[in-house]
């Protein structure tokens, strides 16, 4: 799992808190002014606060990364749904070259029944290939009709 900058900053603050907590007994020097200053500062409380705040910042950074990935997922699903309706694809969610092209649904055959040539699986999705070359696939968005098996595989990939 890749951590973003905010998460790493949180981890560094936690490390600084632990370093302060372990070195607090050694911070009291021989000088009188340092001993007077140490009496007013509770290093263990500061260290504990650093640890808790650092963990909070790290969790916020991890949540930000996770919600960003979730947002990209929903943008991709919305883009694929738009492509399924024949709309033009645009925006940052198009996943690379050739993904922003709108796909047209294969026209339904004119006859009352379609002859099934093959049934199988594309990735983890069931498909039915018909005599005219069109393929019907069970997708996360429902049953979809594609002009060819290659188009179905590109959509699911």
pLDDT digits (tens, 9 = 90+) for 51-92: 999 999 989 888 887 887 777 888 888 888 777 766 544 444
pTM value? 0.42
In the predicted model, residues of the chain with pLDDT beneath 50 are 30-31, 88-104
Give me the pLDDT at residue 108, please.
54
Sheet holding 125-130, edge to edge: 116-122, 125-130, 135-139, 142-146
Closest CA to 149 of 110, 132, 83: 132
Give me the pLDDT at residue 89, please.
45
Q: Using CB atoms within 10 A of its CB, is residue 32 exposed (0-12), middle (13-18) or buried (19+)?
A: exposed
Residue in this structure with the two tokens 């002009």, named with its chain if needed? 147
Give me the pLDDT at residue 37, please.
57
Give me the pLDDT at residue 76, please.
81
């Amino acid at each position: 799992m890749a951590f973003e900058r905010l998460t790493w900053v949180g981890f560094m603050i936690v490390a600084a808190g632990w370093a302060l907590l372990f070195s607090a007994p050694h911070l009291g020097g021989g000088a009188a002014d340092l001993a007077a200053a140490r009496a007013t500062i509770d290093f263990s409380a500061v260290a504990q606060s650093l640890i808790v705040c650092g963990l909070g910042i790290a969790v916020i950074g991890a949540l930000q990364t996770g919600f960003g990935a979730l947002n990209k997922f929903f943008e991709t699903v919305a883009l694929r749904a738009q492509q399924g309706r024949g709309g033009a694809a645009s925006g940052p969610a198009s996943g690379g070259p050739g993904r922003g092209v709108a796909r047209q649904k294969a026209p339904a055959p004119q006859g009352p029944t379609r002859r099934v040539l093959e049934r199988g699986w594309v990735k983890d999705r069931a498909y039915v290939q018909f005599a005219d070359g069109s393929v019907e696939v069970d997708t996360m968005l429902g049953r979809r009709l594609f002009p060819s098996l290659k188009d179905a595989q590109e959509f699911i990939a």
